[in-house]
Structure 1
Amino acid sequence: MTNAEPARSREQRKQDVLDRLEKDDDAWVATASADGVPTLVPLSFVWDRGTLLMATRRTNPTARNVTPTGQARISLGHTRDVVLIDATAEVVEGAELSPESGDAFATKLDWDLRGRTPWVYLRFTPYAVRAWREENELSGRELMTDGRWLV
């Protein structure tokens, strides 16, 4: 058992989530194939215009899974500071990516994939966000539903 700090306000939790989206580099991404086979992988990301922009090889299961289902779950943090994001996902070819998004990805991650055909970008648009640290933050952990921030 841990000695939990006092629960954060929902406003503070939202700000902490936004800070992590701006500053963190990596997240766990869960998708499933059309027949329900799950895949969980770490991917680097940039928070770009209200979405998480990531990249992977087009032949990897994560890229293939985005097409049939369009659904993903993304996790930031560790087990004592959880951010869970449910998102719709789409594949974006490098040639279709806006210069601003490509520049943001390349600058933050020091990795420019534009023009590299084995790779595709994945854009995840959050529709639900939950965040909590300990049991005392389970209540009020829902910060976004239906794509709208609740706080």
Structure 2
Amino acid sequence: MSTPEPPRTPEQRLRDTLDRLREDEDAWVATASSDGTPCLVPLSFVWHGDALVMATRRTNPTAANVTPTGPIRVTLGPTRDVVLIEGEAEIVEGTALPAATGDAFAAKLTWDPRKDSRWVYLRVTPYTVRAWREVNELADRDLMLSGSWLVPPSSVASGTDRSPLPS
């Protein structure tokens, strides 16, 4: 068994989380139907503004489970570097998606679902964000509670451009 690295500070954990939100392309997305049947799927995403934006076919269980809005869980990273996001998802038609958001999605993921009416977007507004690597980070894993960052993103520099959040 390996010895875990020392726990990260909340500021470093937030910095790492924001980097992952900017750089990762795929996440595990969990929803449940009205009768409680779970659905877990990988979806591509872009972090734009203060929300994750994903696309799925409108007939997929993930879209049905949150239509028109509903709870959602999203995880990023491997099991020993987890970012867990709980939030509210809303269905957004491609024609209703702000152009800047659709353009950011298309640029990052090299495809544009706005051109196909079979696809809808999920806009996920987080209300809880937790991040941890090992058991020694569990006690301080909360980065956002009730929709408010516990460490203000403006207080940490992240990514190569050193800006705290995309606009």
Tell me the TM-score range normalised by the shorter chain.
over 0.9
Q: Which amino acid aligns with 2:21?
A: L
Residue of structure 1 in register with 2:96 after alignment: 96
Q: d(CA) in 2 for partners of 1:5 and 1:41?
A: 31
Q: How many residue pairs were aligned?
A: 151
Aligned identity (percent) is 66
Amino acid at match of 1:147: G
Which residue pairs with 1:122 in the alignment? 122
Deviating more after overlay: 47-56 vs 59-68: 59-68
Structure 2: state its 5+ residue gaps: 152-167
The TM-score, its normalising length taken from structure 2, stands at 0.88
Q: Deviations over 1:32-58 (max 9, x none)?
A: 001100000000000011100000000
The offset of 1:113, in angstroms, is 1.1
Tell me if the contact between 2:57 and 2:63 (Cα under 8 Å) persists in the aligned partners: yes
Matched, 1:113 2:99: no
Q: CA RMSD in A?
A: 0.9
* Secondary structure, aligned partner of 2:73: strand
Segment of structure 1 superposing worse, 64-73 or 119-128? 64-73
Counterpart-to-counterpart distance in 2, 1:45 and 1:68: 19
SS for the counterpart of 2:46 is strand
8 Å contact kept, 2:69–2:90 = no
TM-score when normalising by structure 1: 0.97
Structure 1 unaligned blocks of 5 or more: none
